[in-house]
Amino acid sequence: MSPARRLLVASHNPAKAGEIAQILRNEGLEFAVLSLEEFPHIALPPESGSTFPANAAAKARYAAETAGLPALADDSGLEVDALDGEPGVRSARYLGESATDDEVREAYRRLAREHHPDTKRTARTRERAEKRMRELNEAYSFLTQRRAA
């Protein structure tokens, strides 16, 4: 398969690459979707952006430049209403680099119980399948325009 038909997902999570590969196949697009597991020498830059799109763009740009392949990335996080939208883009680091997903979830539950009534115990994840599909469509448009040039 030629490099133009390969797509790098800037993530060390092979399941995420598999999910994106399936979305592309469902759209009739055949790409060899790779994850950073296949590029162990690539360490992503710190997530220093102030928005999810800024972090995703930085990861994708760095992975593309380093691997020499078209790349896409996502960034997601939890916005807890009881915490006025925190931790947002800092979700992964809110309790420290070594915190497990279960520890993070329990901390959010405890904070919500202690500081807010039941009516404000809501939250949302700011990464959705529709957003990911939009990003994939944009990446595909970019790739097809590049091939035509």
Tens of pLDDT, residue by residue over 13-37, are 888 899 889 988 888 888 999 999 9
Spell out the domain ranges in the chain. 3-75+129-148, 78-124
Residue 4 has pLDDT above 60, yes or no: no
Taking a C-beta distance cutoff of 8 angstroms, is the pair 10, 57 a contact? no
Confidence of residue 48 (pLDDT cuts 50, 70, 90): confident
pLDDT over 90 (residue 55): no
The CATH number of 3-75+129-148 is which of 3.40.50.2300, 3.40.309.10, 3.40.50.300, 3.90.950.10? 3.90.950.10
Query: What are the DSSP E strand ranges found in 1-114?
Result: 6-9, 32-35, 71-72, 78-80, 86-87
Q: Strands 123-125 and 78-80, how do they pair? A: antiparallel
Q: Which residues are catalytic?
A: 75
CB 66 within 8 A of CB 8: no
Provide the pLDDT for residue 125: 60
C-alpha distance from residue 147 to each of 1, 123, 143, 144 (Å): 15, 42, 6, 5
121 in Cβ contact with 111 (< 8 Å): no
pLDDT at 143 over 70: no
Beta bridge partners of 78: 125
pLDDT of residue 92: 67
Q: Bigger pLDDT: 36 or 117?
A: 36
